[in-house]
């Protein structure tokens, strides 16, 4: 029975560690981990002795505290966390690409109200304020607001 108590404690600690590190929230693994620790105490009280039950309770409390402290140390999280820096930046402003009001281009996809356009050699996202412009139509830049290029169809 002593082996069963030790196994239940070990399984309970593993499930609680998985709940803390791998699985977010308090779900099935956490509930089963706590149930396993409680079962270890129950088995120790019922089948071994009262002294063994008290030792199991003390061991559970001590081991949960120690394992939680070890898991929450910064070195543990550094091993689990990403260390790459993201150096990408958002798309540049249309003005930086050389797009200005009045320039002409074509639609590469249907604008309803947004889609792909080509102005000169620059391919970007364009928007129409009124209606839908089909693919392959001639367009003219009629406005640039908040890095959005607004176009109208050339008749």
Per-block mean pLDDT, blocks of 10 residues, the chain (155 long)? 91 86 78 93 92 93 87 70 72 79 92 90 89 91 88 89
User: What's the pTM value of the predicted model, to 2 decimals?
Assistant: 0.49
Which single residue is written with the structure tokens 């966390």?
81
CATH architecture for residues 94-153: Beta Barrel (2.40)
- Residues 6 or more apart from 130 whose CB is under 8 A from it? 152
Q: Are 139 and 151 in contact (CB under 8 A)?
A: yes
The string of DSSP letters for 16-75 reads: HHHHHHTS-SS-HHHHHHHHHHHHHHHHIIIII-HHHHHHHHHHHHHHHHHHHHHHHSHH
């Amino acid at each position: 029975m002593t082996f069963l108590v030790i196994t239940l404690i070990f399984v309970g600690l593993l499930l609680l560690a998985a709940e803390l590190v791998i699985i977010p929230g308090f779900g099935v693994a956490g509930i089963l981990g706590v149930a396993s620790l409680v079962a270890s105490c129950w088995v120790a009280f019922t089948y071994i002795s009262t002294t063994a039950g008290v030792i199991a309770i003390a061991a559970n409390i001590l081991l949960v505290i120690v394992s939680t402290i070890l898991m929450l140390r910064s070195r543990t999280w550094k091993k689990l966390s990403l260390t790459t820096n993201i150096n990408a930046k958002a798309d540049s402003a249309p003005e930086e690409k050389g797009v200005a009001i009045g320039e002409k281009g074509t639609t590469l996809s249907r604008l309803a109200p947004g889609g792909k356009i080509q102005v000169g050699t620059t391919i970007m996202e364009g928007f129409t304020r009124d209606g839908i412009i089909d693919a392959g139509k001639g367009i003219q830049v009629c406005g640039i607001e908040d890095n959005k290029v607004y176009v109208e169809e050339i008749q």
